[in-house]
Amino acid sequence: MKCHEVDYEIIGTSMQMVEVELDPGETVIAEAGAMNYMDDGIEFETRMGDGSEAEQGLIGKLLSAGKRMMTGESLFLTHFTNRGEGKRRVAFASPFPGTIVPLDMGRLGRDVLCQKDSFLCAALGTRLDIAFNKRLGAGFFGGEGFILERISGDGMAFIHAGGTLVEKELRDETLRLDTGCLVAFTEGIDYDIEMTRGLKSMFFGGEGVFLATLRGTGTVWIQSLPFSRLADRILAHAPSAGGSDQGEGSVLGGVGRLLDGD
């Protein structure tokens, strides 16, 4: 199934959204709840799957739904179609601060494997599937777990990353990085997990016990601030359940409670 040819514009810097331009009859698929706004003339419908299962009938749709359950994603994707006479636009945003990554699948010429919650939207015809980590170490200790999401097609797809994005091209090279900072990589790159060397570095280095190792030739996308790390920092600086304030602003917090009569 050939992908629809959509145009797009990335809007913003640190909290981005992508505005997709649709010609009459064109469709873009997106994760449920990702839409920000859309022009009049665009209709949306929630369907089970990415649309490529239509050729496979009911069985294909059920298999696709089961795979999405394994990744922890919603069973459904929303299909936005331009039913008007002219060009129409619909915009999507990621659920946390970061960067939207446009993937020209036709230019890349190979599938992209990404962490299971990074897909945002794509042109109709893009196939979303799952891929299993073949290595036991990567499955247990990698930030991605056993299951990765596979994006296939020849059109535009969009994924989102936390913080700033770095794109690296490997030429028969090896790259090591924090397991949570890996966003995606092209098919053909070997992904594994290795343990940090030295007990002192392992326990007191602050970089974790395991590192992700990628070897081969292809493209790797890295995020500077994984959402899990951001959530940990927020929880660490949040007031405790007992109501005591910690960190900066604790004096102001006490004044605020006094004024409120607490």
For the chain, give percent helix, strand, coil, nearest 5. Answer: 25, 45, 35
68-74 long-range contacts, Cβ below 8 Å, gap at least 24? 68/128, 70/130, 70/147, 71/116, 71/117, 71/130, 71/147, 71/149, 72/116, 72/117, 73/31, 73/116, 73/117, 73/119, 74/31, 74/32
Establish if 29 belongs to a structural domain: yes
In this prediction, residue 206 carries a pLDDT of 47
Q: Identity (one letter) of the amino acid at 207? A: E
In this prediction, residue 76 carries a pLDDT of 80
Establish if 53 belongs to a structural domain: yes
In this prediction, residue 21 carries a pLDDT of 97
Domain of 48, in residue numbers: 7-235
Is 103:157 a contact under the CB 8 Å cutoff?
yes
Establish if 199 belongs to a structural domain: yes
Question: Which of 148, 203, 213 lies closest to 179 in space, CA to CA?
Answer: 213
Establish if 127 belongs to a structural domain: yes
Measured distance CA(156)–CA(124) in Å, rounded: 9
Establish if 158 belongs to a structural domain: yes
In this prediction, residue 97 carries a pLDDT of 83
pTM check: above 0.85: no
Establish if 105 belongs to a structural domain: yes
Domain total in the chain: 1
What pLDDT tens digit does each residue of the chain (262 aa) get? Answer: 688 999 999 998 878 999 999 999 999 999 888 999 999 999 999 887 776 655 555 565 566 555 556 555 566 889 999 999 999 999 999 888 889 999 999 999 999 999 878 899 999 999 988 876 555 444 444 444 457 889 999 999 999 998 889 999 999 999 998 878 889 999 989 988 777 655 444 444 445 567 888 999 999 999 988 776 666 667 776 765 444 454 444 444 444 444 444 5
CA atoms within 13 A on the CB side of 249: 6
In this prediction, residue 187 carries a pLDDT of 92
Establish if 259 belongs to a structural domain: no
Please give the structure tokens belonging to residue 148.
Answer: 């990765």
In this prediction, residue 94 carries a pLDDT of 84
CA atoms within 13 A on the CB side of 216: 13
Establish if 240 belongs to a structural domain: no
In this prediction, residue 137 carries a pLDDT of 47
User: For residue 178, what is the domain's CATH number?
Assistant: 3.60.160.10
The b-or-e profile of 204-232 (16+ CB within 10 A means b, else e) is eeeeeebbbbbebebbbbbbebbbebeee
Measured distance CA(9)–CA(88) in Å, rounded: 13
R_g over Cα of the chain = 21
